[in-house]
Amino acid sequence: MQMLVAFVKLTASFPYFTLNAVRMLLLGFIIPPHNPLFDALRNDLSEDCIEHNRIDVDKVFLRLQNCLTDVIKPLFSGVLQNGRFMGPFVEALCDKADLLVCLVKAEDEVKICLTREKQEYFEYTLRSMAASIIYGCKKGGQSFKSLFSKEGSACMFKAQPHFPHCAKLLPREAKNRTLNFWFQEKHCIQQGQFADCIVRVLIAKCDDDKVANVFHGLFKAMFVNTPCEQYYDNNTNNLKADMTLLGTLMLILTRVA
């Protein structure tokens, strides 16, 4: 959810999407230390366990940063910033499960110092990220392409002044978050309210419902098969088939050495 919140903020900041804007999204919010997921993972690690097992957490996160960077940067190779870049870019992005593989590798290095419950919450987070990628990449990445189109980004730009109101609905506790923070009942409800607010604003301010429908689908996909599922749009049966693909992906990811 935090990655999608950042995505909402970024898409609303540009009247039209550019290659640099997409680069900022991927490099600025996915890679540590900017993503709160990594702070939460660090906060869940037992200091005594880290010391006993001689785990250098800083080096683990540096390797994670390098892994993510190595995956993301090639996506921009040969992509032209002339209004036609988004098709090839989305196709390249959707062809990459490597982003999640990087995260799983990092978790494998430190999971000896995570309880089984904390490992489950990390897997919920991966599941949410994977679900959003799978949803956005269906039908040749049509959902992502519609967001990044001139019409889509213009819609976001028009709706942007109303997003701060929606952001007030998000959990406010910012310090010492742990992996289960986003999946507590109170915070699930707040995130669901935020998602509903964003969709309502897009419906009200845009010329059509295309962007609103994409965001509704992204939010819904991120909640499916997590503790938050019951708190956002209970009519998720149409996503269950897609989660079969997600389950296969997660099975592969959890076996990465």
Buried b (16+ CB within 10 A) or exposed e, 23-48: bebbbebbbbeebbbbbbbbebbeee
Amino acid 109 reads: E
Per-residue pLDDT at 11: 47
Q: What is the mean pLDDT of residues 173-192?
A: 82
Spell out the residues 6+ positions from residue 234 whose beta carbon is closer than 8 angstroms to its own. Answer: none
Per-residue pLDDT at 5: 55
Pick 43 or 203 by higher pLDDT.
203
The pLDDT of residue 163 is above 90: no
What is the spatial distance between Cα 204 and Cα 49, in angstroms, rounded to a whole number?
A: 51
Domain ranges of the chain: 18-253
What is the spatial distance between Cα 25 and Cα 29, in angstroms, rounded to a whole number?
A: 6
Give the predicted TM-score (pTM) of the model: 0.73
Inter-residue contact 106 to 60 (CB < 8 Å): yes
The pLDDT of residue 242 is above 50: no
When the pLDDT of each residue in the chain is averaged and rounded to a whole number, the result is 73
The pLDDT of residue 187 is above 70: yes
User: Which of 103-107, 116-120, 138-142, 173-177 shows the highest mean pLDDT?
Assistant: 116-120
pLDDT class for 16, splitting at 50, 70, 90?
very low
Per-residue pLDDT at 9: 52
The pLDDT of residue 28 is above 60: no
* Residue % of the chain over a pLDDT of 90: 7
Per the structure block, which two tokens stand in for 100?
A: 């999640």
